[in-house]
Structure formats: C-alpha cells, structure tokens
Amino acid sequence: MTIGVFDSGLGGLTVVSAMMKHLRGVEIYYVADTQNTPYGEKSKEQILDFSVSITDYLIQNHHIDALVVACNTATSAAIKELRLLFPYLVIVGTEPGLKPAFAHTQTRKIGILATPATLGGKKYKHLIGTLSLEYDVEYFEQACSGLVAQIEKGDTDTPQTIAMLEDWLAPMREANVDTIVLGCTHYPLISKAIERVMSHPVALVQTADAISKRVLHLLEEKGHINRGCNRIHIAATGVIESAMVEQILGEKIEIEQVVI
C-alpha cells in the first residue's frame, strides 16, 4: 500500500514516526508544505486550497491508496471536502485527543494547546461542548500563535520559545492542570520544554499512535498484509530543517524540493 501524508511542515513527521512502528510493507510519501506554513494562522479557504492541491499531487505523482492529513488544522478545515472529492481514497485525519484527556484527568483540570484555526473550527467547538456536558472538567484553551514557526526553525528549547510557553502555561500550572492536550502535530516536538515549564508531573496527550492504528485497520480492510519493509520519501515545498527531520525519524533521509 502507498500512503500519502501531509502537514504544513515538520509536525506531521511525528505521525509518520508512529506509523513506521505500527505499519509494515508500506511506502510513505510525505509532503511538508513549508512554503505555506503555518496553516494555523491561515483562512479556512486557503487551507482547503493547499490540502486539495497536495492531495492531487500525491495522487497524480505517487498513485496513493490512502491519505493521512497529519495536521489538526487541515483536518478541521478540509477533511470533509477531501472525502467528497476523493471518495475512493482511504482518508484519515488528525484531531486533538480531547476525550482521553477529559476521561483521565485526576485534578479535573486540563489544558488544550492548539492553533487559532483549530480552536476556532466547528468540529472542535462541537466536541468540546459535548464533552463539557459529559464530564465535570475545567479546561484552559490556549491558541499558540507563532509556536509552529519556532519549531520549524528548530528552536524547540530556546529562550524565546521557553518564554512563549511560560506565558501560556503559567495559568495552567497555577490551576493545577495535570493533563495537556497537544492539539497540533508539531507540539510533541517540544514535550520536554512543556514538562519543564509546568514543573510538576503532567500527562501530554497526543494522537499519533491512535492515527497509526486507525490507518492500519482501514488498510487491512482493503487487503493489506502487515509485513515487510517500509519505505519513506520526503518532499518539501519550501525551506525545511533537515536536522529536525533526522531527529524526528532517527535516520537521515534525502529531501526533495517540489512545486505544488
């Protein structure tokens, strides 16, 4: 099976890394749309346009069997339209892990870090509203404008990034939040910095493993036999930090520059 994966930049590679652990005998084509990063500060119409263009590129050039939208923002803005436009593809999106956070918090206080576009999306608002009725949990939302750009530069532990996190996380720390939802696939790359700023034990909820298991289940329904070697190809539409790619995937991979 051939799987296309895309994100606005490096973040979706956290999903690819999980997929490489759970899936066997697949070929993965990853597109980092670094020319247009960050998606979280773009309009819904722009994000939809980027998403459709990248999907077209993956279909035309790599004949993909499945598509993983490894971006919370793009999932919120485009997943419905992508499924209508490409009904023959297996399409899996990315959503913040709100339900496990609400279900497992001990202090009944959770934090949610996400992009402005994700927090403003209808799907997110509907889910948070539903969970608020089901669970007696207080939640602290934080739109992390500028954080993706820091991570894309490789600035995961610089004074500027730590200062940004301190501003955003201080209210959560003071409120005794014990669970934080990482509502962007970039954010696991700064997990250690978040834990240090929080300064007390905190569970960080991400969904890369759940996405990978969902992809495996859907591919097996299509006849995939989960054994053999994996192959991965990475393309970027703009500048990308190759050292960060190597750090995330644990190996050096040649990066192709593409125009989409």
Q: Quick count: other Cβ atoms within 10 Å of Cβ 236?
A: 22
Q: Which position among 184, 235, 244, 245 bears the catalytic label?
A: 184
DSSP state of 250: S
**Residue 251 CA to chain centroid, in angstroms?**
20
Question: Residues with Cβ < 8 Å from 170, sequence gap 6 or more?
Answer: none
Q: Which amino acid is at 213?
A: K
Catalytic residue among 23, 26, 71, 216: 71
Question: How far apart are alpha carbons 190 and 158 in whole angstroms?
Answer: 11
Contacts of residue 147, defined as CB under 8 A and 6 or more positions apart, other chains included, come to: 113, 161, 164, 184, 186, 187, 190
CB 92 within 8 A of CB 69: yes
3-state DSSP assignment of residue 176 = coil
Instruction: Please indicate whether residue 184 is annotated as part of the active site.
Output: yes
In this structure, the number of other CB atoms found within 10 A of the CB of residue 231 comes to 11
C-alpha 61/C-alpha 63 separation (Å) is: 6
**Angle CA(38)–CA(15)–CA(6) in degrees, nearest 5?**
50
Strands of the sheet containing 138-143, edge to edge, are: 138-143, 109-114, 179-183, 203-205
Q: Is 144 considered catalytic here?
A: no
Backbone angles phi, psi at 66, to 5 degrees: -145, 155
- Residues serving a catalytic function are 71, 184
